């Protein structure tokens, strides 16, 4: 269950080349495991996302990477934040997650969402469909995946999938936690209440309490105990021993994206400050404590500016582990 997850959202590290990607990710995952993080999460995308980089930035396939990380970690849970349901047949996805559970000794976590990045779908020849189509596909997929993870043999003759007595052997070693990502109050959070053990919000601070209340309302209508669901919130941080160091590392990261912090318009600086918590442990810890009071159970946190520095990953884990 994710109370503190380290998200790895990009693979373009300073001075990096393809052969250095995996050692850098391994170092981050291993340090996370020993410094307070309970889960390590990777992107399930084929192109980098708008706002994080360019489509041709480095991007690794999620489940191949997670399987490799299983061999170099021993206790941290491993999963995608989150799997794009549209990318894989649901029975094959269930098999992939089960394989991850086997090779990790029972540490797999399934994160899943309906998929949204149209460019990837168009480029790779994957059906994108409408917003309604993708939600229908996700709900049908869960009716295949969840039984398979329970060692059942589901069949479905649905609008989007036709599955017949799908066998999943060997069965998972563990009861795999299922996270549904997203913040939609009518559809997504209803599906969290109905199907998931984990939810992960992607929203602004001013929206969190409303989302928490929406999930509680769905749980009540469905007869689900809200305490059975761990609700995390996706955040971005840049931490260092001093605020000056953290700001310098943020500025270097922005410069790698073609932005000069000192010459950015004030309104752009304010947007970035609202997106990334930058500071020393006291500053970062205080902000996350304030956020925790909004009603979430935990956080998934990315460090796009300094994930490549294992000591920064350790510092973040140590800072947030006691919140």
User: What CATH number is attached to the domain comprising 64?
Assistant: 3.20.20.30
252 found inside a domain: no
Task: Specify if 64 maps to a domain.
Answer: yes
Question: Tokens 């909004």 identify what position?
Answer: 294
Answer whether residue 274 is part of any domain.
Answer: no
Count of structural domains, the chain: 1
Q: What 3-state class would DSSP assign to 298?
A: strand
**pLDDT tens digits for range 155-186:** 999 999 999 999 999 999 999 999 999 999 99
In a domain, 268, yes or no: no
How many angstroms separate the CA atoms of 189 and 173, rounded? Answer: 28
pLDDT, tens digit, 9 for 90 and up, residues 26-51? 999 999 999 999 999 999 999 999 98
Q: Is the pLDDT of residue 322 over 90?
A: no
Does a structural domain hold residue 136? yes
Contact 177, 149 (CB under 8 A): no
Is residue 36 situated within a structural domain? yes
- CA dihedral 146→215→296→43, nearest 10 degrees, is 40
pLDDT recorded at residue 2? 64
Per-residue pLDDT tens over the stretch 117-149:
999 999 999 999 999 999 999 999 999 999 999
Residue 171 in tokens: 């069965």
| Residue 107, domain member (yes or no) | yes
Residue 275 maps to a domain:
no
Instruction: Print the domain residue range for 126.
Output: 4-236+280-320
């Amino acid at each position: 269950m994710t109370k503190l997850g380290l998200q790895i959202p990009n693979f373009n590290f300073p001075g990096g080349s393809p052969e250095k990607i995996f050692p850098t990710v391994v170092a981050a995952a291993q340090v996370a495991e020993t410094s307070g993080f309970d889960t390590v999460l990777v992107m399930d995308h084929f192109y980098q996302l708008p706002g994080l980089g360019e489509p041709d930035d480095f991007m690794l396939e999620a489940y191949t990477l997670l399987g490799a990380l299983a061999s170099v970690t021993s206790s941290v849970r491993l999963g995608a934040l989150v799997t794009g349901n549209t990318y894989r047949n649901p029975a094959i996805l269930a098999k992939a997650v089960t394989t991850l559970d086997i090779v990790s000794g029972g540490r797999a976590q399934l994160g899943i969402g309906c998929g949204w990045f149209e460019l990837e779908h168009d480029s790779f020849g994957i059906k994108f469909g409408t917003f309604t189509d993708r939600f229908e596909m996700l709900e049908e997929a869960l009716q295949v995946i969840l039984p398979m993870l329970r060692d059942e043999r589901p069949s479905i003759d649905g609008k989007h999938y036709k599955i017949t007595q799908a066998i999943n052997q060997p069965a998972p070693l563990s009861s795999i936690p299922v996270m549904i990502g997203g913040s939609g109050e009518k559809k997504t959070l209803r599906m969290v209440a109905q199907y998931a053990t984990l939810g992960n919000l992607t929203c602004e601070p001013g929206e969190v309490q409303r989302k928490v209340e929406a999930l509680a309302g769905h749980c009540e209508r469905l007869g689900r105990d809200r305490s059975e669901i761990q609700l995390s919130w996706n955040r971005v941080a840049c931490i260092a021993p001093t605020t000056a160091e953290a700001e310098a590392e943020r500025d270097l990261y922005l410069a790698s994206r073609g932005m000069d912090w000192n010459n950015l318009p004030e309104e752009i600086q304010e947007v970035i400050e609202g997106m990334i918590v930058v500071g020393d442990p006291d500053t970062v810890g205080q902000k996350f404590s304030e956020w925790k009071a909004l009603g979430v159970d935990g956080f998934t946190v990315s460090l796009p500016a300094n994930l490549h520095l294992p000591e920064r990953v350790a510092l973040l884990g140590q800072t947030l582990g006691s919140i």
